[in-house]
Chains A and B, each alone.
Chain A
Amino acid sequence: MKSSKILTLAGLALLLTASSSNAADKVPLKIEVPRPVFIGTPKPIKGFPHLERKGLKRGEILVPAGTTNIAAGKEVTGSDDFPIIGDLEFVTDGDKDGEEGYFVELAPKTQWVQIDLKKASEVHGVCIWHFHSQARAYHDVIVQISDDPDFVDGVKTVYNSDHDNSSKLGVGKDLAYIETYKGKYIDAKGAKGRYVRLYSAGNSTNAMNHYIEVEVFGK
C-alpha cells in the first residue's frame, strides 16, 4: 500500500464535516497530501521576481457542501502526445507520490494538460502537484476552465503567474510558488466549465514540465 494513502484518516480525497462556525452551506475541504520526499541537492531558484514568500501556511479552505474531486480518473489530454516519461493518466490517478515513476514529464516551453470532467461542472478549487521531491518553481502556471475543448471560447482564467506574458495567454498577476508535497491550491471561485486546462513553461531546475496529480474540487 502506498504510504501516501495511509497518511490520511480515510482513503477519501475529501473530508467534509459540518462546522458550526462556518456559513451554513460551506464546509472545510481536506486535501489528502502525500509523504514528503526530498532527493538530491536543491538548485537555486532564480528568475522569479514574483515568487511567493516561503513558509506560507495554507489556511482553512471552505467549499460548498457536496464538493468532491471530480477529476479523479478522468481522461487527460495534453500538448505533448508522447511524454518524455510517464503517462498522462497519472495526472488524475490519485497517486501523489513524489518519487520517480509517478510523474508525467512533458517537453520544454509552454505545454498544457487538459482534464475532461465529462460534464459542465461548477469548479471551486484546483490543487496541483507538479513535482515535489525538490524545491523548485514552475514558470507560467496558468489554469483555465471552459466548455470549449479547444479553449477558444468562454475561457475563464482562475490562475496566471505569467508576469511577462511569455506564454502569450495574457499577463498574470498571481505569484509563482515553490513546489511542496502539500500541492498548490487555487480557488476557482465556482467557475463553470467541462474542461480544465493547466499550463506551465519549464521550471527552475530544468526546461521540462511535470505533473504528478491534479485534483479539481467541484460538483
Chain B
Amino acid sequence: MSHKKPDNSSSEKSPSLNRRDFIATTATAGGLAIAAPSIIKAQSSSDEINVGLISFGQQGQVQVEASIDIPNVKFRAICDIWPYAQKKGIGTLLRYGHDVREHAYTDYREMLEKEKGLDAVLIASPDFMHSPMTVDALSAGKHVYCEKLMSNTVEGARSMVKASQDSGNLLQIGHQRRSNPRYLHAKEKLVNKQDKGGAGIFGRITHANGQWNRAVSKARTIRDRYNLDEATLKKNGFENMHQFLNWRWFKKLGGGPVSDLGAHQIDIFNWFLDAKPTSVQASGGVDYYDSYEWHDNVMCIYEYDTPNGMARASYQVLTTTSAGGGFFEYFMGDEGCMKISEIPRLTKIYREAHAPEWDGWIEREILKQNATAYKASEEVKVDVRESPPLAEYLLPVDLKKKIHQPHLENFFEAVRMHSADKSKAKSHLNCPGETGFETAVTVLRVNEAIEARKALAFEKSEFNV
C-alpha cells in the first residue's frame, strides 16, 4: 500500500528536529539511559510490547514502516554493524516517536545481554546470520520475527525451530503473504474444498506456476565515505563492501534469487496445494552478471502429491529481464484458475466454461464478477479447437495496510497471548518456524537440483525438524 499523505493539520509537534529540540531530547535520553535497560518494563503499559531491531537495511526499514501503525509496539533498541544503517535506523525511529539513541548496538549479543526488558526481536539481517541471531534471541527469552528465507542452510533453519521449541518462545518467519487478507481469503474461501469450509471453486488443482522477473540492475554501491572498514567486514563474515552490499548473491551469505524472491512464492505453492513436494528439477546459471556467485536465472518444476492427486508447479525467477514486470502465483484447476499477486491489479480469477456457475458464490460475496472484463455469454463463435475465453472474476477483499503489516500484527498478537496460553499463542502464528522450515527445505533444494542437473526427490522425513 502506498504511504498516506500526511495530516499536517493536527497540532502535534512536527517530527523534525531543530537544534534546541535535539539538545533537549538528547539530555533527556542521556539521563534515562543510566537506568533505562532495566526500567523499560516498569515504564511500559501492560499491553505494550518492547521490541529490539537487528539490522536496518532495506528489509529492516520495511519492518519499521510496517510496525509503526500497530498500537502499543515500542522499539526500544537497535543493532546494526554498519554506522550508516544504524544512524538511519535511529533517526527513522526517532521521527516516529521511538527513541533508541541510547540503546544502539553493533553487536546483537550485547543488545540481548543488556536490554533485558525486550519482549521481542525483529531480525532483518543477511540470511546467513538469521540462524545464530534467532537461536541466541530465543535462548535469551525473546520472541522472534525473522525475515525469510529463514536460513541459507537447512541445518541453520532446523536449529532455529529447535531453539523455539526448546525455549517455548515464539518464532514467526516473514512469509508475509500468509497474513495478507487477500491471500487468506483466496486460500480459505476459494481454494479449500467445502469439507474445509471453502468453496473449492477451482475443482482439482493440477498445476501451478509462479514468476518474479526483474530488469537488469547494477551491483549496489555506496558513497565512499560510508564504507565499512575492512576489519569490521571480515569480523562479520564479508570479504569486502561489494559482498556486504550485495550479500544476496553470494553463496555463504544468502541463497540467491530463488531464495530472495522465489521463497515467497514457492511458500504459496506449499500452502495452497496443502502439500510438500515430492521432487524438483531445475536449471539455472550465472549467465549474465560477472561479479556474483548465485544463479541470475532459475527455472524449476516441482511435483506435489496433493490430497487431490498429482500436481506440478513451475517457477521462474529472472534478474535479467522484467518481461513486462510483475510477480504472481497461478493456480490452475479443472473448474477454474486464479492468478494471485500482492499486486491487486495482477490478480485474476477465471471459471472454466464447462464448470458450474459461480453466481451463488458471488451472492455470498466469496468473489465478485469483473464488470469490465469479458463475459462468456457475449463471446462470438470460436474455433472448435480452442478453449473458449473465460469469464473473469475478482477477489472481494482488499489490503488497506502496508503489505507487511498484517504479518507483524499476527506476530505481536501471538506475543500478547503467550503469557496466558503458550500453545494458543503458537497456533495463532500464521507462519511459525515449523512452516518456515518446510519452505526452506523446499526452496534450498532448487539450488542443489541445478548443480545436480537432475530431478531430486524429497523424503517426507526431510520436512520434519
Contacts and interface: CB of A to CB of B under 8 A. Distances in A.
Interface residues of A, number: 46
A19 interface: no
Contacts of B226: 100-101
Nearest to A166: B8
A39 B221 contact: no
Interface residues of B, number: 42
A44 B96 CA distance: 22
Contacts of B116: none
A182 B88 CA distance: 26
Interface stretch (B11-19, B137-145, B379-387): B11-19
Contacts, number: 122
Contacts of A83: 91
Interface stretch (A64-72, A103-111, A122-130, A190-198): A103-111
B17 A80 contact: yes
Nearest to A35: B218
A167 interface: yes
Interface string B279-296: 000000000000000000
Contacts of A204: 2-3
Which of A100, A101, A164, A205 has the largest number of chain B CB atoms within 10 A? A100
Interface string A75-111: 0000111111100000000010101111001111111
Given A107-B16, A108-B15, A208 B9 contact: no
B5 A107 contact: no
A206 interface: yes
A84 B22 contact: no
A179 B14 CA distance: 25
Interface string A191-219: 00000000001111111100000000000
A139 interface: yes
Given A39-B58, A107-B15, A111-B16, A208 B8 contact: no
Interface string B1-44: 11111111100001111110010000000000000000000000
B361 interface: no
B310 to A, nearest CB: 33
A177 B148 CA distance: 33
Given A108-B95, A202-B3, A207-B3, A82 B17 contact: yes
Contacts of A41: 327
A84 B5 contact: no
A177 to B, nearest CB: 15
B364 interface: no
A44 B2 contact: yes
Contacts of A59: none
Nearest to A140: B5
Contacts of A39: 58, 217, 220
A45 B6 contact: no
B217 A37 contact: yes
A27 to B, nearest CB: 33
Which of B4, B6, B9 has the largest number of chain A CB atoms within 10 A? B6
A99 B7 contact: no
A164 B7 CA distance: 11
Interface in A119-149: 139-140
Contacts of A99: 220-223
Given A47-B2, A99-B223, A139-B5, 17 more contacts: A44-B2, A47-B3, A48-B2, A81-B18, A81-B22, A82-B22, A83-B91, A99-B221, A105-B91, A106-B16, A109-B6, A168-B8, A201-B6, A203-B3, A206-B3, A206-B61, A208-B95
6 contacts: A84-B91, A84-B95, A97-B221, A107-B14, A107-B17, A108-B96
